[in-house]
Structure 1
Amino acid sequence: MVNLKQHSITSVEWNTIDSSVFAAAGADDGVSQWDLSVESSDVGARADGLKDLPPQLLFLHQGQSEVKEIHWHPQLPGVMISTALSGFNLLGQHR
């Protein structure tokens, strides 16, 4: 199960195409994508391991160490780029 402990946020960036979506990186070595337009009633039955997660959480990546920045790609809508001590990742969004 995913652990959403409180940690320092190292980077936040709003999506330039969808004003309700933002990406965040944190000291917990995670990169997350959130959609603030999603409401609890929008979500159907969730699997047991996911029912404790907020419905606004669209994506969570925990494969890097010491994530410092997250940015939306300027030419590829829905693609995020994260930089970390362990390298950089391209993370895509599918809707």
Structure 2
Amino acid sequence: MMEVQLVASFPNRALMQQAIDEIRSQGAIDVRLLEDSPSEEGLFSPPGGGSLPYALSVWMERSRYRLAEDAIRCHRGSLLPGSGPSLVLAQNRH
């Protein structure tokens, strides 16, 4: 099974939680909050650096990543550069 990671930021916690609920119902493998901490390994730094106050990392099966992408956008989230289907294969995740 191939997995992909999507990293997104949101304008507020409520919209992020709505997206999380929808993404989990779509069969997300893993959803992690990246709140109030530097982005993972510096790979997904916001413009100007710093932390992502309302951000999450989502792992989905590659065949379902568009569902997660649509849910993120529906709840006013923004995908961060570098995330998406070409980013990671399952064996690179750990």
TM-score where L is the length of structure 2: 0.28
**Structure with a larger share of its residues in strand:** 1
**Structure with a larger share of its residues in helix:** 2
The structure showing larger relative contact order (alpha-carbon pairs under 8 Å, at least 6 residues apart) is: 2
